[in-house]
Amino acid sequence: MRRTSLRRIAALAAAATLLALTASTSIAAPTDAHIRLSLRASGLTKPVFVTSAHDDTGRLFIVEQTGRIKIYRNGAILATPFLNIASQVSGGYEQGLLGLAFHPSFKTNHKLYVDFTDVNGNTVIREYRVSTTNSNVVATSTARTILKINQPYANHNGGMLAFGPDGYLYIGMGDGGSGGDPGNRAQNTGVLLGKILRIDINGTTSTHNYRDPATNPYVGKTGADEIWQLGVRNPWRFSFDRANGNLWIGDVGQDSWEEIDRATRTPGGAGRGVNWGWHVLEGFSCYSPPSGCNKTGMSPPLLVYDHSNGRCAVTGGYVSRGSLVPALYGGYVFGDFCSGEIWVVNATASTPAKPVLLLDTSLTISSFGENQAGNLYVVDHDGGKLYAIVPA
């Protein structure tokens, strides 16, 4: 009897422990994470992006708006820029060198792509290759223009480049600028402004240094073949969830609402042909007209936030898939350029979702980034600094 009782007590204790562990695991969520920022580099000039080449070197590449890309390696910024096209970019507040993406086969073909506004203010997507004698320097003689898009105004240039899980290059284009999209370009499928574009850079045609994937929604129909999604105002930063291929977009708002859009990946791609609503909608609300607008065929954002607390422009981020902050895993991290606030929302949240504040900083957050392992970084534009997100 005594042995039986002890066994029962032990079994009950083990079951209780297992139940407690299971319960604590089930209630844990990315929104419970506690983080801090750890300084990695300073002395940068208007940094706007940071990324990895996924080439097993551990390098991070930091894009400076003024026209340079610098390498962060082994705790320091290398003295020689990876790329310097400062004399070729325009210098307006929202202009300059804005985006960088490395080819999925960069380790073997050494190709990379940049997005910048040229001295005339027009968007240029250009291909380069790394020097054959120095892997820390781009061979500028290899420059090849992939795409050029005229810009009617100096603002709302977009600038984000990213390769999707399908191997195609995605390009974020703002609505052309001014305010309120006066030309209604975001809803016009005949122009490339106010869109997310998708192109195949692994081939050419008789007229283009790229091909339009046959699965793009307007191929064979009325509309520009490069368009993947429409109805965005200024998709400054977007990203793909490396775990499932979902597309996340931080679309900068007009007067009232900043928004985060999420397109779930399907066999046809993440958000094929989605219309995010601008300038008919700003967030969930009517913009033009200000009431009674027709929302037919338009997809709502995952979440919005207003301009209180000094907020002004959303900076889209990434779904955390690294191991450095385990509690943050599965959370989409984003921020605001002006207020310096950093939020997280569970990547599986339903719309309308409510984000949770992770950290309130004094930074001007121009971008987030991730290294090859999926750990996250934050770029401080005005402070010229790079931070890693680490556990608090």
The CATH number of the domain holding residue 251 is: 2.120.10.30
Res 28: pLDDT: 54
Q: Quick one: pLDDT at residue 208?
A: 97
CA pair distance 343, 98, nearest whole angstrom? 23
Residue 377 CA to residue 302 CA, distance in Å, equals: 23
pLDDT at 10 (0 to 100): 43
Asked if residue 41 belongs to a domain, the reply is no
Give the max Cα distance, the chain.
90
The pLDDT of residue 29 is 79
- Which residues of the chain, if any, have pLDDT below 50? 1-27
Q: pTM (2 decimals)? A: 0.93
Domain that holds residue 124: 46-304
Q: Which CA distances in Å does 184 have to 95, 193, 219, 230?
A: 21, 10, 22, 11
Q: Is residue 118 part of a domain?
A: yes
CB atoms within 10 A of CB 56: 9
- Indicate whether 384 belongs to any domain: no
Closest by CA position to 295, among listed 304, 305, 282:
282
Residue 305: CB partners within 8 Å, gap ≥ 6? 257, 258, 311, 314, 336, 343, 355
**Domain-located, residue 368:** no
In a domain? residue 320: no
CA 263 to chain centre: 13
- Say which residues have a Cβ less than 8 Å from residue 372's Cβ, sequence separation at least 6: 52, 54, 55, 56, 58
Question: Nearest Cα to 343, choosing from 351, 352, 326, 331?
Answer: 331
Residue 277 lies in a domain: yes
For the stretch 245-271, what's the b/e string if a residue is b when 16 or more beta carbons lie within 10 angstroms of its beta carbon? bbbbbbbbbbeebbbbbbbebeeebbb
8 Å CB contact between 152 and 176: yes
Report the domain count for the chain: 1
> Which tokens in the block code for residue 123?
């968007």
The residue count for the chain: 392
- Residue 192 belongs to some domain of the structure: yes
> What is the per-residue pLDDT across 216-255, written as a single tens digit (0 to 9) for each?
999 999 999 999 999 999 999 999 999 999 999 999 999 9
Task: Calculate the CA dihedral of residues 322, 328, 331, 333 and round it to 10 degrees.
Answer: -90
Q: Is residue 357 part of a domain?
A: no
Full 3-state SS string of the chain? CHHHHHHHHHHHHHHHHHHHHHHHHHHCCHHHCCEEEEEEECCCCCEEEEECCCCCCCCEEEEECCCEEEEEECCEECCCCCEECHHHECCCCCCCEEEEEECCCHHHHCEEEEEEEECCCCEEEEEEEECCCCCCCEEEEEEEEEEEECCCCCCCCCCCEEECCCCCEEEEECCCCCCCCCCCCCCCCCCCCCEEEEEECCCCCCCCCCECCCCCCCCCCCCCCCEEEECCCCCCEEEECCCCCCEEEEECCCCCCEEEEEECEECCEECCCCECCCCCEECCEECCCCCCCCCCCCCCCCEEECCHHHCCCEEEEEECCCCCCHHHCCEEEEEECCCCEEEEEECCCCCCCCCEEEEECCCCEEEEEECCCCCEEEEECCCCEEEEEEEC
